[in-house]
Amino acid sequence: MHSINLAAEKINPLLPHTAELVVGAIAFTLLYLVLRSKVVPMFEKAFTARTEAIQGGMERAEKAQLEAERALRQYTEQLSKARDEAHSLREDARAQGVAIVEELRTKAQEEAGRITAAAHASIEAERQAAIASLRTEVGTIAIELASKIVGESLDDQARASRVVDRFLDDLETATNPTNSNN
């Protein structure tokens, strides 16, 4: 049994053989060299491309954000200008409305004044016509009355007209002492 123990101590299943260590080291070295020369550059390219894509995306996002901010400023400025212009247009329209109302009021007052003046002139003309008509009628009646009172005919037109005018002037002076010129 002792020989089995010695043989067992010589062959340790946990320790690899030297030949296996050499083959393993050579295989590891070959695998390392192949991976380092072929696979690692592909990973580095992929990582570099991914990094560039991320950075490019970030740069594009920053550019897009700056563009959006610039567009927002322009929109805000245009909106402000549009509001100012709308306010200006409202004020202009309000001022024009006030001017139109004032112009219409002035025209209406002028028209009312013209109509009133025309009415006064018409009334004055009718009054003068009525006065002339009354003078004629009163003159005719006065001549007839005077003819009957005096007993002589007042057919002479000039004399009759003088008598009538004198009578009417006396009558007018008697009824209206403050306005003796009418």
Per-residue pLDDT for 145 more than 70? yes
The domain in which residue 86 lies consists of 15-175
DSSP 150-180: H-S----HHHHHHHHHHHHHHHHHHH-TT-T
| Residue 3 located in a structural domain | no
Give me the pLDDT at residue 182, please: 45
| Domains held by the chain: number | 1
Per-residue pLDDT for 180 more than 60? no
Rounded to the nearest integer, the mean pLDDT of the chain is: 84
| Residue 53 located in a structural domain | yes
pLDDT digits (tens, 9 = 90+) for 67-78: 999 999 999 999
| Residue 145 located in a structural domain | yes
1-5, 124-128, 130-134, 178-182 — most confident range? 124-128
| Residue 2 located in a structural domain | no
Cβ atoms of 164 and 142 closer than 8 Å: yes
Average pLDDT over residues 165-171: 79
Give me the pLDDT at residue 154, please: 59
Share of the chain above pLDDT 70, in %: 85
Give me the pLDDT at residue 7, please: 54
The helices-and-strands tally (H runs, E runs) of the chain is 4, 0
Per-residue pLDDT for 128 more than 60? yes
| Residue 8 located in a structural domain | no
Alpha-carbon span 93 to 87, nearest angstrom: 10
| Residue 9 located in a structural domain | no
| Residue 100 located in a structural domain | yes
Burial class from Cβ neighbours inside 10 Å (0-12, 13-18, 19+) for residue 27 reads exposed
| Residue 171 located in a structural domain | yes
The length of the chain, given as a count of residues: 182
pLDDT digits (tens, 9 = 90+) for 5-50: 555 456 777 888 888 889 999 999 999 999 999 988 998 999 999 9
Average pLDDT over residues 108-131: 91
pLDDT digits (tens, 9 = 90+) for 111-121: 999 999 999 99
